[in-house]
Chain A
């Protein structure tokens, strides 16, 4: 079956760039899948997100080769506005996502729906639900510019999810959040996955990536170097060569292996640590997490 997002042999060079930011990238993302993209900074993660949401080539020019299709249609053939309604994009930096034209959090969250021409009587309950879901009801009357970084990040997420797009792209959605706020964002991501959304996630916090992703794509210098189920990718010795973070528990496990401690399998979630050390005597199938 063809995926909801399909990239075929895509290469891209920014207008002023000498090198290709992405080289010969092919990805097929299925509807409802949660795919995480990892890689060190400048490996092309944000560029890849911009291709998926059509900002390349609609907004950023430059040189594109290959094809990017959303729902079987080339992103070039969409109006950028149409794509914006299909694909929600949560920026890495919440400071640039806030529109700057709205004076309250409530209005900021309603802004996208207004632009989509949704009737007012529908907007109000949808915004109410969203403020509750993202736990920012208490901020509704505040000016978005008076909020702390973490609060703004939540407003930014609410403003996107409220439009109910099929595809959500999260570019480091928790970078400014405290640990509880981060958990709350991932609760929202989990909920969106349960609602059948297709999710593309860029995130450095590998504990969360390991816990939530179906699939992991590793980018290195603009090329996809690994792509597979999250556990397979993290277990593969190749992953180590890219100097990308592991989940904390995996780092502990790798050190233990090096010191000669035998492990039953390589853990990628903290609660697997006792099992991999053999502390519990039972047959362990690491993929049985539920």
Chain B
């Protein structure tokens, strides 16, 4: 599944699971301001994405500074990069 589709599906699940409306989700949307995601929602999204995409770019990120995640696109680029990088042994 392309990262954007997976991310939209995951965010939709998070909104539905928490009893909120899953409206249109677009790349330029702000995760917090537009979609209303808080840190718990983001944590859930990442777990769901690990299941659908098979990677968790945030797990290994302890050593590297955490990238800014403001929009859906930010997430897409993080996951695109992670998927392109071969897993470290």
A and B interact physically: no
Which residues of chain A have a CB within 8 Å of any CB of chain B? none
